[in-house]
Amino acid sequence: MNTTEISVKNFSISIENRQILKNISVDIPKNQITVIIGPSGCGKSTLLRSMNRMIDLVEHVTTEGEIIIDGRNVLDPQINLSHLRKNVGMIAQAPNPLPMSIYDNVVYGLRIHGVQDHIPMLQRAEKCLKTVGLWNEVHDRLKEPASALSLGQQQRLCLARALAIEPEILLCDETTSALDPISAKHIENELATLKNDYSIVFVTHVLRQAKRLADYVIFLYLGELVEYGPAQEFFTNPKDPRTKAYLEGVFG
Protein backbone atom coordinates (compact mmCIF):
# COMPACT_ATOMS: atom_id res chain seq x y z
CA MET A 1 0.00 0.00 0.00
CA ASN A 2 1.40 3.38 -1.03
CA THR A 3 1.46 5.69 1.98
CA THR A 4 2.79 8.71 0.07
CA GLU A 5 0.22 11.33 -0.97
CA ILE A 6 2.50 13.99 -2.47
CA SER A 7 6.04 13.45 -3.73
CA VAL A 8 8.17 16.56 -4.20
CA LYS A 9 11.24 15.87 -6.35
CA ASN A 10 14.13 18.28 -6.90
CA PHE A 11 11.71 21.20 -6.79
CA SER A 12 13.03 24.73 -7.17
CA ILE A 13 11.10 27.94 -7.74
CA SER A 14 12.09 31.49 -8.56
CA ILE A 15 9.96 34.63 -8.66
CA GLU A 16 11.31 37.52 -10.73
CA ASN A 17 14.67 35.71 -10.90
CA ARG A 18 14.91 35.50 -7.09
CA GLN A 19 15.20 31.92 -5.92
CA ILE A 20 12.60 31.12 -3.26
CA LEU A 21 13.02 27.34 -2.92
CA LYS A 22 16.11 25.31 -3.75
CA ASN A 23 16.02 21.68 -4.80
CA ILE A 24 13.33 20.43 -2.40
CA SER A 25 12.74 16.66 -2.28
CA VAL A 26 10.33 15.18 0.27
CA ASP A 27 7.46 12.69 0.40
CA ILE A 28 4.32 13.82 2.21
CA PRO A 29 2.39 10.97 3.87
CA LYS A 30 -1.22 10.03 3.27
CA ASN A 31 -3.91 10.61 5.93
CA GLN A 32 -1.67 12.55 8.26
CA ILE A 33 -1.21 16.21 9.12
CA THR A 34 2.08 17.37 7.68
CA VAL A 35 3.13 20.73 9.11
CA ILE A 36 5.56 22.96 7.25
CA ILE A 37 7.47 25.22 9.65
CA GLY A 38 10.24 27.78 9.41
CA PRO A 39 10.87 31.50 9.82
CA SER A 40 8.96 34.11 7.81
CA GLY A 41 10.16 34.30 4.23
CA CYS A 42 11.62 30.79 4.10
CA GLY A 43 9.26 29.57 1.35
CA LYS A 44 6.58 27.72 3.36
CA SER A 45 3.56 29.22 1.60
CA THR A 46 5.29 29.13 -1.78
CA LEU A 47 5.79 25.37 -1.46
CA LEU A 48 2.19 24.89 -0.31
CA ARG A 49 0.71 26.99 -3.11
CA SER A 50 2.76 25.14 -5.68
CA MET A 51 0.95 21.92 -4.79
CA ASN A 52 -2.29 23.10 -6.40
CA ARG A 53 -0.69 25.63 -8.75
CA MET A 54 -2.12 28.67 -6.97
CA ILE A 55 1.41 30.01 -7.26
CA ASP A 56 0.56 30.54 -10.95
CA LEU A 57 -1.32 33.67 -9.89
CA VAL A 58 2.04 35.31 -9.11
CA GLU A 59 3.82 36.87 -12.10
CA HIS A 60 7.27 35.85 -13.33
CA VAL A 61 7.35 32.43 -11.68
CA THR A 62 9.72 29.75 -12.96
CA THR A 63 9.92 26.20 -11.59
CA GLU A 64 12.12 23.13 -11.93
CA GLY A 65 11.53 19.59 -10.74
CA GLU A 66 8.29 17.78 -10.03
CA ILE A 67 5.40 17.62 -7.58
CA ILE A 68 3.72 14.25 -8.05
CA ILE A 69 0.08 13.74 -7.00
CA ASP A 70 -1.89 10.71 -8.16
CA GLY A 71 1.01 9.71 -10.38
CA ARG A 72 1.10 12.98 -12.31
CA ASN A 73 3.41 15.97 -12.16
CA VAL A 74 1.10 18.86 -11.25
CA LEU A 75 3.65 21.30 -12.69
CA ASP A 76 3.06 19.88 -16.16
CA PRO A 77 1.62 22.71 -18.32
CA GLN A 78 -0.91 20.22 -19.72
CA ILE A 79 -2.42 19.43 -16.30
CA ASN A 80 -6.12 20.21 -15.89
CA LEU A 81 -6.08 22.93 -13.22
CA SER A 82 -9.79 22.65 -12.49
CA HIS A 83 -9.44 18.94 -11.77
CA LEU A 84 -6.26 19.52 -9.75
CA ARG A 85 -7.85 22.16 -7.52
CA LYS A 86 -10.92 19.99 -7.02
CA ASN A 87 -8.65 17.24 -5.74
CA VAL A 88 -6.35 19.57 -3.78
CA GLY A 89 -8.44 22.04 -1.77
CA MET A 90 -7.07 25.10 -0.03
CA ILE A 91 -7.97 27.11 3.07
CA ALA A 92 -6.39 30.56 3.11
CA GLN A 93 -4.88 32.53 5.98
CA ALA A 94 -7.83 34.91 6.36
CA PRO A 95 -11.44 33.76 5.95
CA ASN A 96 -12.57 34.51 2.39
CA PRO A 97 -16.30 33.73 2.11
CA LEU A 98 -17.85 34.62 -1.22
CA PRO A 99 -20.33 37.56 -1.33
CA MET A 100 -23.36 35.30 -1.25
CA SER A 101 -25.41 33.29 1.22
CA ILE A 102 -24.05 30.71 3.65
CA TYR A 103 -25.65 27.91 1.62
CA ASP A 104 -24.43 29.24 -1.73
CA ASN A 105 -20.88 29.45 -0.35
CA VAL A 106 -20.87 25.76 0.53
CA VAL A 107 -22.28 24.56 -2.80
CA TYR A 108 -20.39 27.03 -4.99
CA GLY A 109 -17.79 24.48 -6.05
CA LEU A 110 -20.45 21.87 -6.79
CA ARG A 111 -22.14 24.25 -9.20
CA ILE A 112 -18.80 25.07 -10.84
CA HIS A 113 -18.31 21.34 -11.44
CA GLY A 114 -21.75 20.88 -12.96
CA VAL A 115 -23.98 19.74 -10.08
CA GLN A 116 -27.39 21.40 -10.41
CA ASP A 117 -29.83 19.13 -8.54
CA HIS A 118 -30.96 20.93 -5.39
CA ILE A 119 -31.46 17.86 -3.18
CA PRO A 120 -27.92 16.43 -3.50
CA MET A 121 -26.48 19.93 -3.00
CA LEU A 122 -28.55 20.52 0.12
CA GLN A 123 -27.53 17.12 1.50
CA ARG A 124 -23.86 17.83 0.79
CA ALA A 125 -24.12 21.27 2.38
CA GLU A 126 -25.65 19.82 5.54
CA LYS A 127 -23.03 17.07 5.73
CA CYS A 128 -20.11 19.48 5.30
CA LEU A 129 -21.49 22.05 7.74
CA LYS A 130 -21.93 19.26 10.29
CA THR A 131 -18.39 18.05 9.63
CA VAL A 132 -16.95 21.46 10.53
CA GLY A 133 -19.25 21.88 13.54
CA LEU A 134 -21.26 24.73 12.02
CA TRP A 135 -24.63 23.16 11.19
CA ASN A 136 -26.27 23.75 14.56
CA GLU A 137 -25.22 27.40 14.46
CA VAL A 138 -26.46 28.19 10.93
CA HIS A 139 -29.09 25.59 9.89
CA ASP A 140 -31.87 28.18 10.18
CA ARG A 141 -29.77 30.96 8.60
CA LEU A 142 -28.64 29.35 5.36
CA LYS A 143 -30.04 32.17 3.21
CA GLU A 144 -28.28 34.88 5.22
CA PRO A 145 -25.08 36.42 3.81
CA ALA A 146 -21.91 34.65 4.86
CA SER A 147 -20.47 38.02 5.83
CA ALA A 148 -22.86 38.05 8.81
CA LEU A 149 -20.91 35.21 10.44
CA SER A 150 -18.09 35.74 12.91
CA LEU A 151 -14.52 35.33 11.65
CA GLY A 152 -14.26 31.91 13.26
CA GLN A 153 -17.54 30.82 11.69
CA GLN A 154 -16.43 32.20 8.32
CA GLN A 155 -13.25 30.13 8.41
CA ARG A 156 -15.22 26.99 9.26
CA LEU A 157 -17.55 27.87 6.37
CA CYS A 158 -14.54 28.10 4.05
CA LEU A 159 -13.45 24.69 5.28
CA ALA A 160 -16.95 23.32 4.56
CA ARG A 161 -16.79 24.86 1.08
CA ALA A 162 -13.47 23.13 0.43
CA LEU A 163 -14.81 19.77 1.64
CA ALA A 164 -17.99 19.98 -0.45
CA ILE A 165 -16.20 19.09 -3.68
CA GLU A 166 -14.63 16.05 -1.99
CA PRO A 167 -10.90 16.68 -2.36
CA GLU A 168 -8.30 14.13 -1.31
CA ILE A 169 -5.85 16.74 -0.02
CA LEU A 170 -6.35 19.90 2.06
CA LEU A 171 -3.78 22.68 1.99
CA CYS A 172 -3.97 25.06 4.96
CA ASP A 173 -1.96 28.29 4.78
CA GLU A 174 -1.74 29.70 8.34
CA THR A 175 -5.44 28.92 8.47
CA THR A 176 -5.97 29.92 12.11
CA SER A 177 -3.69 32.96 12.34
CA ALA A 178 -6.51 35.50 11.93
CA LEU A 179 -8.76 33.83 14.50
CA ASP A 180 -9.30 34.15 18.24
CA PRO A 181 -7.89 31.28 20.34
CA ILE A 182 -11.24 29.52 20.79
CA SER A 183 -12.04 29.57 17.06
CA ALA A 184 -8.48 28.52 16.22
CA LYS A 185 -8.74 25.55 18.57
CA HIS A 186 -12.03 24.54 16.96
CA ILE A 187 -10.39 24.49 13.52
CA GLU A 188 -7.44 22.50 14.89
CA ASN A 189 -9.81 19.93 16.41
CA GLU A 190 -11.69 19.60 13.12
CA LEU A 191 -8.47 19.06 11.17
CA ALA A 192 -7.32 16.40 13.63
CA THR A 193 -10.55 14.52 12.87
CA LEU A 194 -10.48 15.15 9.13
CA LYS A 195 -7.07 13.52 8.67
CA ASN A 196 -8.86 10.16 8.82
CA ASP A 197 -10.30 10.96 5.39
CA TYR A 198 -7.92 13.56 3.97
CA SER A 199 -4.21 14.24 3.72
CA ILE A 200 -3.58 17.66 5.25
CA VAL A 201 -0.62 19.99 4.71
CA PHE A 202 -0.56 22.87 7.17
CA VAL A 203 1.76 25.89 7.14
CA THR A 204 2.44 27.66 10.43
CA HIS A 205 5.16 29.77 12.02
CA VAL A 206 3.87 28.99 15.52
CA LEU A 207 5.87 26.14 17.04
CA ARG A 208 3.30 25.43 19.75
CA GLN A 209 0.66 24.89 17.09
CA ALA A 210 2.98 22.67 15.06
CA LYS A 211 3.59 20.49 18.11
CA ARG A 212 -0.15 20.20 18.74
CA LEU A 213 -1.11 19.35 15.17
CA ALA A 214 1.75 17.62 13.40
CA ASP A 215 2.08 13.95 12.63
CA TYR A 216 4.92 14.81 10.25
CA VAL A 217 7.10 17.92 10.01
CA ILE A 218 8.97 19.70 7.21
CA PHE A 219 11.42 22.40 8.29
CA LEU A 220 12.43 25.02 5.70
CA TYR A 221 15.11 27.64 6.21
CA LEU A 222 16.26 30.22 3.65
CA GLY A 223 14.52 28.29 0.88
CA GLU A 224 16.18 24.98 1.72
CA LEU A 225 14.76 21.78 3.17
CA VAL A 226 16.73 21.36 6.38
CA GLU A 227 15.02 18.40 8.03
CA TYR A 228 11.83 16.37 7.89
CA GLY A 229 10.31 13.36 9.60
CA PRO A 230 7.73 12.08 12.09
CA ALA A 231 6.76 14.81 14.56
CA GLN A 232 7.72 12.95 17.72
CA GLU A 233 11.24 12.30 16.47
CA PHE A 234 11.59 15.74 14.89
CA PHE A 235 10.74 17.65 18.06
CA THR A 236 12.55 15.42 20.55
CA ASN A 237 15.64 14.47 18.57
CA PRO A 238 16.43 17.01 15.81
CA LYS A 239 19.36 15.96 13.63
CA ASP A 240 20.45 19.27 12.12
CA PRO A 241 21.93 22.02 14.33
CA ARG A 242 19.79 24.59 12.50
CA THR A 243 16.68 22.65 13.49
CA LYS A 244 17.83 22.50 17.09
CA ALA A 245 18.54 26.25 17.11
CA TYR A 246 15.12 27.04 15.60
CA LEU A 247 13.29 24.85 18.10
CA GLU A 248 15.19 26.53 20.93
CA GLY A 249 14.16 29.99 19.67
CA VAL A 250 17.65 31.10 18.64
CA PHE A 251 16.12 32.51 15.43
CA GLY A 252 12.74 32.65 13.75
Question: Distance between CA 180 and CA 232 in Å, rounded?
Answer: 27
DSSP reduced 3-state for 114: coil
Question: Distance between CA 129 and CA 137 in Å, rounded?
Answer: 9
The torsion defined by the Cα of 198, 134, 162 and 11, in degrees rounded to 10, comes to -60
List 69's β-bridge partners, or say none.
6, 72
CATH no., domain 4-247: 3.40.50.300
Question: Distance between CA 184 and CA 190 in Å, rounded?
Answer: 10
With a CB cutoff of 8 Å and minimum separation 6, the contacts of 197 are: 31
Predicted confidence at residue 1, as pLDDT, reads 44
Identity at 226, one-letter amino acid code: V
Question: Distance between CA 252 and CA 245 in Å, rounded?
Answer: 9
Predicted confidence at residue 119, as pLDDT, reads 86
Cα torsion angle, 220, 94, 133, 127, sign: negative
How many other C-beta atoms can be found within 10 angstroms of the C-beta atom of residue 120? 12
Return the domain boundaries, the chain: 4-247
Predicted confidence at residue 94, as pLDDT, reads 87
Sheet (strand 88-91) strand order? 88-91, 169-173, 199-203, 33-37, 216-221, 224-230
Quick one: which of 20, 47, 22 has its CA closest to 34? 47
Residue pair 35/58 in contact by the 8 Å Cβ criterion: no
User: What averages of pLDDT result for each successive group of 10 residues across the chain (252 residues)?
Assistant: 86 95 97 95 95 93 96 95 93 92 94 83 94 94 96 94 94 92 90 94 95 97 97 96 94 74
DSSP state string for 11-61? EEEEETTEEEEEEEEEEEETTSEEEEE-STTSSHHHHHHHTTTGGGGSSSE
